[in-house]
C-alpha cells in the first residue's frame, strides 16, 4: 500500500509541475505575441520566427521536465 501512495504523490507532483511549466510557456508566448503586435509585426514574422520561438520554447520545457523526472528517480 505504501508504494501506491508514493506513486500517486509523485504523479500528482509532476502533473502540477508540467502544468506550471506549460502555463509559463503560454504566458511567455502571449506576452511576446502582444509585444510583436504592438510593434506592427507582419504575417511573415508570425508564420516563421514566432512559430520557431514557440517550438524551441516547448522543446526546452519538455527537456527540462524530462531532466527533472530523471533527476528525481536517480536519487531513489
Instruction: State pLDDT tens for residues 60-71.
Output: 999 998 888 888
Domain with 44 in it: 2-75
> Do 53 and 6 meet the contact criterion of CB atoms below 8 Å apart?
no
- Would the pLDDT of 1 be above 50? no
Q: Which residue has the higher pLDDT, 27 or 13?
A: 27
pTM for this model (two decimals): 0.78
> Do 31 and 53 meet the contact criterion of CB atoms below 8 Å apart?
no
Q: Which residue has the higher pLDDT, 7 or 18?
A: 18
pLDDT at 13: 86
CA 13 to chain CA centroid, Å, is: 15
Cell numbers 520566427 correspond to: 49
Residue range 39-60: mean pLDDT, rounded: 94
**Structural domains counted in the chain:** 1
pLDDT at 3: 54
> Do 49 and 32 meet the contact criterion of CB atoms below 8 Å apart?
no
Amino acid at each position: 500500500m505504501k508504494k501506491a501512495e508514493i506513486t500517486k504523490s509523485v504523479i500528482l507532483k509532476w502533473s502540477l509541475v508540467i502544468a506550471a511549466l506549460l502555463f509559463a510557456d503560454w504566458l511567455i508566448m502571449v506576452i511576446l505575441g502582444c509585444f510583436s503586435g504592438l510593434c506592427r509585426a507582419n504575417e511573415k514574422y508570425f508564420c516563421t520566427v514566432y512559430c520557431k520561438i514557440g517550438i524551441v520554447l516547448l522543446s526546452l520545457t519538455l527537456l527540462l521536465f524530462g531532466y527533472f523526472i530523471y533527476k528525481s528517480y536517480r536519487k531513489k
